Amino acid sequence: MMADRLWRWGGNALAVFTCLFLVLPLAVVVLFSFSERSFFTFPPSGFSLRWYQAAWDSDLFLVPALRSLVLAAVATLLAALLAVPAALGLRRMAPGRLRSALEFAFLSPLVVPALIIGIALLYAFNRTQLLDTFTALVVSHTLIVFPFMFRAVLTSALGLKQALIDAAEILGASPALTLRRVVLPALVPGIVAGGIFAAIVSLDQFTVSLFVTQSEQIVLPVALYKYLFDVNDPVAAAVSTVLVVFGLLAAIVIDRLGWLRHLAGGGA
C-alpha cells in the first residue's frame, strides 16, 4: 500500500512540476520586463515601465512587428487561394497513387526542417537577386504555411456531400453559382481554422526569415534575436512580454473554438 501511495503522489507531484516547468520561462520573461535594473536579479527589485517606453521609442521593433503582421496576412491569404482549388481538385480525384502522391507533396513543406528550406531558399533567392526583399518573405512564408491551410481545407472539402452539389445543379444552378452558394460556404470552417493556424505559424517562423533576409526586411522574431545578442537589456523582455500576451490571447480564442488539443499537429 505504501508503494502504491508513493507511486500516486510521485506521479501527481511530477505532473505539477511539469506544469510549472512549462510556464516558468514565460513567467521569468514577464517578470524581468518590469525590472528597474538593466540586468537580471532575483528576487526582482522595484517596478518600472521604462523598458516598454524604450521599446516603443526605438525604431528597432515597430516596423518589423508591422511587417510580421502584414506578412502573416498576405501569406495566409495566398495559401488559401492556392489551397481551396487544390483541395477541391483532390476531392474530385479517385483515391489512388496519384492522389496520395499529390497530397503528400502538398504536405511536404511540413516534413522538411525549416532550417533546410531556409538554406535552399537562401541560395535560390541570392541567385535571383531577391534576397532581403518582401517578395522573398512572402514566397517562403506562403510555402511554410501552405500545408496547415491545405490540411484544414481538405478536411472540409472531403466532408462536403456530393448530393448537395448534384441537387444544386439539377435545380439549374450554374457551376459558378454552385461554387459560390454551396461549395465555398462548406469550406469556410476549414479556411478559418487553417487561416488561424497559418497566421500563427507565420508569426512564429524565425528560421526561414533569418535566412532570406539580411537587414532591410527583418521580421519581429529576427529583430528580437538580433537585439538579444547586440544589447540584451530588458527591452527584449518587454517586447517578449507583448508576444507572450498575444500568444495567450490566441490560446484563449483557440480554446473557445475547441481546437487547442489539435495544436500538436503543427511543427516548430
Partner 1 sequence: MTALRRASLPDRATLWLALAPACALVLLAMLVPLAEMAVISFRRESFGQILPGFTLANYASLLGGLASLQLFLHTFAVAAAVTLLCALLGFPLATAIARAPARWRGLLYFMVAAPLLVNTVVRSYGWLLILGRKGLLNSLLQAAGWTGEPLALTGNLTGLVIGGTQVFLPFMVLSLATSLLALDRRLMESAEILGAGPARTFVSVTLPLALPGLIAGSVLVFSLMLGAFVTPLILGGTAVKYLSVAVYTDALVLFNLPRATALSLLLMIAVLAVYALQKRLTRRAEAALA
Q: How far is the CB of 122 from partner 1 (least distance, A)?
A: 7
Residue 156 engages partner 1 in binding (rule: CB under 8 A): no
Residue 199 engages partner 1 in binding (rule: CB under 8 A): no
For residue 205, which of 124, 250, 131, 145 has the smallest C-alpha distance?
A: 145
Beta carbon nearer to partner 1, 152 or 220: 220
Give CA angle at 246 (244, 250), nearest 5°: 115
Q: Give the one residue of 54, 62, 77, 165 binding partner 1; rule: CB under 8 A.
A: 165
Give CA angle at 266 (114, 28), nearest 5°: 85
Q: How is residue 64 written as a grid cell?
A: 518589423
Give CA angle at 79 (257, 248), nearest 5°: 35
Output b/e per residue, 172-211; b: 16+ Cβ within 10 A. ebeeeebbeebbeeebeebbebbbbbbbbbbbbbbbbbbb
Return all residues near 76 (Cβ < 8 A) that are at least 6 apart: 145, 149, 195, 198, 199, 202
Residue 190 engages partner 1 in binding (rule: CB under 8 A): no
Q: How far is the CB of 52 from partner 1 (least distance, A)?
A: 15
Q: Which stretch binds partner 1 (CB under 8 A): 48-56, 59-67, 89-97, 181-189?
A: 89-97
What angle, rounded to 10 degrees, do the helices at 234-257 and 184-204 form?
Answer: 160
Q: Give the one residue of 72, 80, 114, 152 binding partner 1; rule: CB under 8 A.
A: 114
Residue 61 engages partner 1 in binding (rule: CB under 8 A): no
Residue 164 engages partner 1 in binding (rule: CB under 8 A): no
Residue 243 engages partner 1 in binding (rule: CB under 8 A): yes
Residue 39 engages partner 1 in binding (rule: CB under 8 A): yes
Residues 204-233 close enough to bind partner 1 by CB under 8 A? 204, 206-207, 211, 220-221, 224-225, 228
Q: With left for phi above 0 and alpha for psi between -120 and 50, is residue 172 left, alpha or beta?
A: left
Residue type, 102: L
Q: Give the one residue of 49, 81, 158, 164 binding partner 1; rule: CB under 8 A.
A: 81
Q: How far is the CB of 49 from partner 1 (least distance, A)?
A: 19
Q: Which stretch binds partner 1 (CB under 8 A): 50-58, 69-77, 90-98, 184-192?
A: 90-98
Q: Give the one residue of 71, 80, 102, 257 binding partner 1; rule: CB under 8 A.
A: 102
For residue 89, which of 150, 148, 44 has the smallest C-alpha distance?
A: 150
Q: How far is the CB of 233 from partner 1 (least distance, A)?
A: 12
Residue 189 engages partner 1 in binding (rule: CB under 8 A): no
Q: How far apart are CA 99 and CA 237, in angstroms?
A: 47
Q: Total binding residues for partner 1 by CB under 8 A? A: 95
Q: Give the one residue of 46, 172, 216, 230 binding partner 1; rule: CB under 8 A.
A: 172
